[in-house]
Amino acid sequence: MTSAQVDTGSGPGSEKAPEEGYERGLGSRQVQMIAIGGAIGVGLFLKAGANIAKAGPSLILMYALAGVIIFFIMRALGELLLYRPVSGSFAEYSREFLGPFFGYFTGWTYWLMWVVTGMAELTAAAIYVHYWFPGIPQWVTALVFLVVLFTANLISVKLFGEIEFWASMIKVTALIGMIVIGLGVLTFGFSDAGDTAAVSNLWAFDGFFPHGIGSSLMTLQGVMFAYLAVELVGVTAGESENPEKTLPKAINTLPWRIALFYVGALTVILCVVKWTEFAPGVSPFVEAFAKIGIPAGAGIVNFVVLTAALSSCNSGMYSTGRMLRNLADSAEAPAAFGRLSATKTPALGITVSVLFMGIGVVLNYVVPEKAFNYVTSVAVGAGIWTWLMILVSHVLYRRAVTAGRLPASSFPAPGGSVGSWIAIVFLLFVTGLIMKDSESRISLYVLAVWAVILCVGWVVLKARNPQVADRQKPEFEKVSS
């Protein structure tokens, strides 16, 4: 997308829509809340139950460790975004620093990640509704939510931003409320859980690593799924009113978000309710409020986690349409995906993505008990590839800056590329854990088939349009400092 760089919202003409054609409909409050909400999803609210059963209290440490790596990834992405803020960011940076094939592969793989994540969120939403209405089949609920969110995404980016803002507000407020109530139970001993709530619950039942360090490390793949979507801030770059200001602020708040919403919330819950009380397939937050005995508390929390699932699925529809448009602009997808609707949304790309997300509805019909684990494992594999491309692109960008070939970013990552190298090693280690896990290994088989499909597609693309394989020099627009 070398001829479609982004006006950053400063200087002459900042009031106009960018050359990409997108509407700058995401204000600062929406970008900030999208960034906060992107770090709170089904991976925490639902999958944490299975991970607690495997790792016990040591899951807190796994979330903290993964959180540090995610911060390295986001600072690397932040430096690239402020060097050249473009919609479809990671695919564009892969295209620039690694070559057109990697841009093509990354764009399509990120699209796949969100499609299968959307399936996971729809599955989780159906599970949450089952809490109130056990007689409604999972696939019916998933289908209804799919249609509703699809309609909202076609209307405008402003509506998407508003939905995400309020959904994230619900998640954030609820998590803070849970932490405050949990601390109250620990401090004052009220509620049904007051007699057994204690900080010693973190080590009193077979220790902090009840199943050994190896079992705890095996949960890292599930933990990484919980962090998928934090990079969504990069996709919003082309529709943010002032990326020069909003993106660094959103990224720099990541450490406290992880510390509070993941590490803090899990620590409080595992102090209030001993880890042996939790089981796979049940939200630990819903279970904790049920144990505390607050009237309607579990139902309220179930509503919150349902909101989280729908919010993430909404984000998936948003990002898949934008990524398909980026691929179309680079002649790596059908040109029809590059057109915008009257409301300045990539309607065709969203529609096609939603049709593929519909496979999740089918899975909920055929294998409702296994649908969630199947799709989350594929999402993690695709997410790891995306993160690796961000990190490798960052390392190559830093080398180019050092050599004087490219301008320095106004938002450099602390320590240069050191954090990126640490994160690369960590992600390769997690990939090895996925290979070792018989349940998750299926994701690597799926991604291997996906890679073959993409390679065949690339050969066809080059045969039809040899220029698609040419590395083009990006054009820059002035970015305020």
For 188-243, write each residue's pLDDT tens digit: 877 777 677 889 999 988 999 999 999 999 999 888 888 887 777 666 655 566 77
Q: What is the pTM of this model?
A: 0.84
**Band of residue 368 on the pLDDT scale cut at 50, 70, 90:** low
User: Which CATH number is associated with domain 30-469?
Assistant: 1.20.1740.10
Q: Which residue has the higher pLDDT, 412 or 321?
A: 412
Tens digits of residue pLDDT in 114-152: 888 888 788 888 888 888 888 888 888 888 988 988 888
Which pLDDT does position 425 carry in this prediction?
Answer: 97
Average pLDDT over residues 333-354: 86
**DSSP collapsed to 3 states, the chain:** CCCCCCCCCCCCCCCCCCCCCCCCCECHHHHHHHHHHCCCCHHHHCHHHHHHHHHHHHHHHHHHHHHHHHHHHHHHHHHHHHHCCCCCHHHHHHHHHCCHHHHHHHHHHHHHHHHHHHHHHHHHHHHHHHHHCCCCCHHHHHHHHHHHHHHHHHHCHHHHHHHHHHHHHHHHHHHHHHHHHHHHHHHHCCCCCCCCCCHHHHCCCCCCCCCCHHHHHCCHHHHHHHHCCCCHHHHHHHHECCHHHHHHHHHHCHHHHHHHHHHHHHHHHHHHCCHHHCCCCCCHHHHHHHHHCCCCHHHHHHHHHHHHHHHHHHHHHHHHHHHHHHHHHCCCCCHHHHCCCCCCCCHHHHHHHHHHHHHHHHHHHHCCCCHHHHHHHHHHHHHHHHHHHHHHHHHHHHHHHHCCCCCCCCCCCCCCCHHHHHHHHHHHHHHHHHHHCCCCCHHHHHHHHHHHHHHHHHHHHHHHCHHHHCCCCCCCCCCCC
396 or 38, which is more confident: 396
Higher-confidence position of 91 and 363: 91
What is the per-residue pLDDT for 423?
97
What tens digit of pLDDT does each residue of 175-203 get?
Answer: 888 889 889 888 887 777 767 788 999 99
Q: Is the pLDDT of residue 17 over 50?
A: no
Identify the pLDDT of residue 28: 60
